[in-house]
Amino acid sequence: MRNITITNISPENESKNRLQKIATFPEKDSIAHDVFQWVGAEHSLTLYGTTYDKVYFDVKFPLFNETSENESAEVYSKIDIVLISDDCISMLCFASSHTEHTHHQAAEFADAYFMPSCYYNDNPYRTSFIKWALRYNEKKNGYFAGIKQNISHIIGITNILHDADALAWFKANNPFIEPEVLAQINQYTEIIFTNLLYYRPEIGTKIYGDLHAKKKNYPYLLGELLFDRLLCALDEPLLLSRFITTYPELFAEIQSQMPNGLAEYLDNKYVLTNHA
């Protein structure tokens, strides 16, 4: 558990204001599994107009075709939650952000990110990826670890949409996905990539801030990456259609579809609704 003390709060009635309390952040894997583990053939989830009846956790996407000589880079990006539709046409990928938006951290890209020879040959966005990595590499005055993670995920997703070798790697390295499902994933699969932030409603903007504020907090940097870097470079309209959301926002949309008692349990455990 990571404890974060909320400071500099001066409400009129301090004893009743929940912002003074210590915010306990759950383990990343626990909230991701708890919120989505119920999705299946018996309890499908309809979200953004699509019905999903398959959920997988820690799905590997191929990052590089080879690594640099001087450094052994990760060859895959692991996406926390992947939902696949009942007809296997659509894939919804959630990067579950845990505490990236509560502390500063450098991006620290590996050498392979800057070497065209390390990328899959048929991915048309190699030049853009290198430019993004150069822009954010080793920056420390912001929440850049999550930005690096975003770029890695987008490289992996676009790889399987454009390169046959990358798609074959994806199918060979996720054995927990059923063969009949893997067989239907191809370059025409509709993939949406979303940042899912853990957000405590009672904390509000004290930690997370405003996406449009001058202070470059984590949501601000995600917006910068989306609007200034991605939309002008990627020709994947579905890929970035829902780039940022939070667990409470998602919870509000899906709680009515959950099995009996689960929504109340999740709200009690993770404080997904503002009860102030």
- Residue 220 has what pLDDT? 77
Beta bridge partners of 193: 93
- Residue 188 has what pLDDT? 94
Q: Which stretch of DSSP H or E encloses residue 58? A: strand 50-62
How much is the pTM? 0.85
Q: Whose CA is closest to 174, among 187, 156, 189?
A: 156
Q: Which residues of the chain fall short of a pLDDT of 70?
A: 1-29, 68-74, 98-103, 200-216, 275-276
Which residue's structure tokens are 């880079």? Answer: 73
Cα distance between residue 38 and residue 155, in whole Å: 29
Q: Whose CA is closest to 166, among 226, 109, 125?
A: 125
In Å, what is the CA distance from 182 to each residue of 46, 64, 82, 131, 171?
A: 21, 20, 13, 32, 6
Give the pLDDT confidence of 59-72 residue by residue, as tens digits: 999 999 987 666 65
Residues for the chain: how many in total? 276
Q: Whose CA is closest to 162, among 61, 46, 263?
A: 61
